[in-house]
Amino acid sequence: MLWILAGTDAVRAQHGAVAGRVTSSTGDPLPGANVVLLGTTYGDAAALDGTYRIGTAPVGSYRIQASSLGFATEIRQIDVAANETILVDFVLEPIEIESREIVVTTTRHTADAGDIPASVSVLTAEDLVVRNVLSLDDALQYVPGVQLTGNEVNIRGSSGFSYNTGSRILLLVDGMPMLSPDAERIPFDLIPVHQIERIEVLKGPGSALYGGGALGGIIHILTKTYPAKPETFVEAYGGAYQPAHHAVWRRQWEASKKPRPLGGIAINHARPLSPNTGLWANLTYRYDASHLNMNSSRSLQGFSKFTWRTSPDSHVNILAGVNRKTRDTFIYWNGARDALNPGSTNLGSSISSSGTSDNRTQHVSLMPAYTNALSTSTLFQAKARLFGIFIQPLDDEKKPRPLSKGTIGFRYGGEVQLDYEPAPGRYIVAGVSGDANFTNSSFSGADAPRSQPEIAAFTQWEEEIGRIKITGGLRFDTYRIRQGQTLRKLSPRASATISMGPSWTVRLAYGEGFRAPSVLERFVESSDHLPIVSNPDLKPETSRSYEIGVRGQPLFGGAPLFTIDAALFLSQYREIIEPKFTPEERAFRFTNFTRARIAGGELELRAHILPGRASLHAGYTYLDAQDLETEESLAFRSAHLLKTGATLTVGPLESGVDLRLASAPERVDSDFARFIADAELSSPIQVMDVRIGSSWRGIRATLHIRNALNYHYLSRPALLGSTRHAFLQISTRM
């Protein structure tokens, strides 16, 4: 390890570097452009000013490639000399269709999106900026096949509604798994969106590479690196929710007759500190009064990333952040005729529950990672992660109560991974990981374990045979779910991609997934909002998934017309966990269903009609989600989901529109209606967002109107979705 960290003078003497800038034909920088030495593990992403640097490369001849969405890929031949930096600038020409995307989620290393054997959608940094995405859940609203039920992520029907006590979707940050320790849910405010390079969404089980949390899919956030020159970015926005539309609602809540404000400010600074170090730092403040009574929030977030190139072959990244949020959380309404006020429920005797919860939540995170290119064919990575959460209930005077009345939890772990490319077209990934939780919550019973440690080993083999690329993966996990009781699971994966020409590939994939129930699902004991009792005998969920898909670019007159990605999929679930009402206890309990099946298809299209001026995108997902025991539809799943949008630039004006359509769930769980008025109601979703803006002398101003048609819908049972609200966003980069 000392030799790896320090290197030797002899090794250093046989290396050189490659640097330069990637711009468009108009001279504009292309931030995020991928520059790689083909056939090696060396590469870099262009900074905000278009500059890149591959700090180390062994002496020799290489083919270097630069690519960016919406631009033609360029490849050159270069020779790297010892102790010299070669300057290679790229000028990419816009094309009528986006270039082939580079993703890492499905293989644990960079790969061409056209060659991966899975369905993956990508949101770029530009996508997040133009839509003024404020948090991760905002961003996911625009991904085909993804639906949010309240704040729970549902990818291709893998999740329903589970009181926010567990997630079948795994969140990765720069390859590191991150779920909150108290309930294993996704922390949407973990990373500031202004420092996100891109978001990759894998649709389907990812347990063979990433373990139990990836039963239904993966959300992977990749963060930016520091630029070649100091840079400061400032953004502020402010606006309001319009007054309540219906008179019956306004009569129940006087404040709904006036606009409800929202706003925030974000400051980002990034710079090199020395030839070998650099960082970016972010500070964000947000306030949202909400369209609902007792649902306001204030948050202050600080986050940074420090990079240190310890040698020409290695570097260290350290992500660290804190987040403090004070929030009145609206849990369920007081009925459809009083949808803006939280309700209350009489649970018998003198006990009653409230439809709102006031909390102060603090997150801390620390994620160091070390990477070393041991040779042109071998890459070593070591990563660690720590995520802490502190939840304090607030009293009637909005003062925090002791932590003993709330929740304290830590999730921590690490992993070591080795990437090896013994020959062109052959790639091997292997590694081990370990994670553990410590949780102490007032919502769990006295017999609940304080931790649920996990140890895992994983491997993956890729082999190219002519036009076919075959991938096989295997992961072994062991969980200690209670003293003396251990759960073991082997998760295999097999897939293949077949090249059908220069622009078309067919993929076949099979994978298995699993998820151990969270501590809160097994041991929750609460009557604060709804009566819930524990079930320590919950079994793990398992799944099998099959997919066949095609991805390509139809040609029109010899030129690509658009990108198409189509897939048919089938997922089979066993022991799926859902909350169910038990009449004998007059309470909800998480229980296992024996069998469920989700089948469907998905079609995604992207087109650049006029390069740099007009683009279109659309994604449609069909689901047939069945409980095979009762022969009923699974609850809270929409059979039809359509997401489409367009952008248009005319002179100095930039405009865009996004439309989200979802059919009403085939079935909702009517057990909620035993306690909550009108909780059996459901609705389709028909939401349109529009924006128009312009830039002048380095200042960008954009007017956003969310839910422009002011369509009223339910985002989950007894919770009204966001009504029409508008805000003005102003940003500048210095």
Amino acid 656: pLDDT: 94
- Report the DSSP beta bridge partners of residue 322: 302, 364
Structure tokens at 84: 């010299």
In terms of Cβ atoms closer than 10 Å to its own Cβ (0-12, 13-18, 19+), residue 140 is buried
Q: Which is it for strands 15-24 and 85-87: parallel, antiparallel or unpaired?
A: parallel
Q: Worst-scoring range by mean pLDDT, 161-165, 200-204, 290-294, 492-496?
A: 161-165
pLDDT at 2 over 50: no
Sheet containing 217-223: order of strands: 119-124, 196-203, 217-223, 169-173, 176-177
CB count within 10 Å of CB 509 equals 24
- CA distances to 278, 357, 588, 676, 715 from 528, rounded to whole Å, are 47, 9, 13, 14, 22
Assign 527 to helix, strand or coil.
coil
Amino acid 352: pLDDT: 52
pLDDT at 691 over 50: yes
Q: Judge whether 363 and 190 are in contact, CB under 8 Å.
A: yes
- CA distances to 36, 164, 264, 506, 734 from 134, rounded to whole Å, are 31, 21, 9, 36, 21
CA-nearest of 466, 341, 400 to 720 is: 341
Task: Give percent above pLDDT 70 in the chain.
Answer: 90
pLDDT at 108 over 60: no
Amino acid 235: pLDDT: 94
**Alpha carbons 312 and 372: distance in angstroms, whole number:** 9
Backbone angles phi, psi at 683, to 5 degrees: -155, 155
pLDDT at 184 over 80: no
CATH 2.40.170.20 for domain 111-733, yes or no, is: yes
Assign 350 to helix, strand or coil.
coil
The residue among 662 and 111 whose pLDDT is bigger is 662
What number is the average pLDDT over the span 600-605? 95
Amino acid 561: pLDDT: 75
Q: Worst-scoring range by mean pLDDT, 111-120, 169-178, 269-278?
A: 111-120
**Alpha carbons 709 and 723: distance in angstroms, whole number:** 9
**Alpha carbons 226 and 319: distance in angstroms, whole number:** 12
pLDDT, tens digit (0-9, with 9 covering 90-100), for 443-497: 776 676 667 788 999 999 999 898 999 999 999 999 887 777 788 889 999 999 9
DSSP 41-97: S-EEE--TTSEEEEEEEESEEEEEEEE-TTB--EEEEEEE-TT-EEE--EEEPB-SS
pLDDT, tens digit (0-9, with 9 covering 90-100), for 123-161: 888 888 778 788 888 888 889 999 887 778 889 988 877
Which residues in the chain are classed under CATH 2.60.40.1120? Answer: 2-94
Confidence of residue 690 (pLDDT cuts 50, 70, 90): very high
Amino acid 102: pLDDT: 52
Q: Judge whether 602 and 624 are in contact, CB under 8 Å.
A: no
The residue among 451 and 367 whose pLDDT is bigger is 367
Assign 635 to helix, strand or coil.
coil
The residue among 26 and 617 whose pLDDT is bigger is 617
pLDDT at 109 over 60: no
**Alpha carbons 32 and 122: distance in angstroms, whole number:** 13
Mean pLDDT score of the chain: 85
Amino acid 527: pLDDT: 66
Q: Judge whether 114 and 505 are in contact, CB under 8 Å.
A: yes
Distance between the two ends of the chain, CA-based, in angstroms?
41
Gyration radius of the chain's alpha carbons: 25
pLDDT at 103 over 60: no
pLDDT at 415 over 60: yes
Which residues in the chain are classed under CATH 2.40.170.20? Answer: 111-733
pLDDT, tens digit (0-9, with 9 covering 90-100), for 71-98: 778 889 999 888 888 999 999 887 644 4
Backbone angles phi, psi at 187, to 5 degrees: -85, 100
What number is the average pLDDT over the span 332-360? 79
Amino acid 326: pLDDT: 94
CB count within 10 Å of CB 346 equals 10
Q: Worst-scoring range by mean pLDDT, 86-100, 102-116, 417-431?
A: 102-116
3-state SS of 642-695 is EEEEEEEEECCEEEEEEEEEECCCCCCCHHHHHCCCCCCCCCCEEEEEEEEEEE
Burial track 8-26 (b if 16+ CB lie within 10 A, e otherwise) = eeebeeebbbbbbbbbbee
Q: Worst-scoring range by mean pLDDT, 183-187, 189-193, 699-703?
A: 183-187
Q: Which is it for strands 90-92 and 15-24: parallel, antiparallel or unpaired?
A: parallel
The residue among 612 and 715 whose pLDDT is bigger is 715
CB proximity list for 80: less than 8 A, separation 6 or greater: 15, 16, 17, 18, 57, 58, 59, 60, 61, 62, 86
pLDDT, tens digit (0-9, with 9 covering 90-100), for 619-674: 999 999 998 988 889 888 999 999 999 999 888 899 999 999 999 998 887 777 88
Amino acid 3: pLDDT: 40
Task: Give percent above pLDDT 90 in the chain.
Answer: 41
Structure tokens at 92: 């990419």
What number is the average pLDDT over the span 38-59? 80
Amino acid 107: pLDDT: 54
Q: Which CATH code fits 2-94?
A: 2.60.40.1120
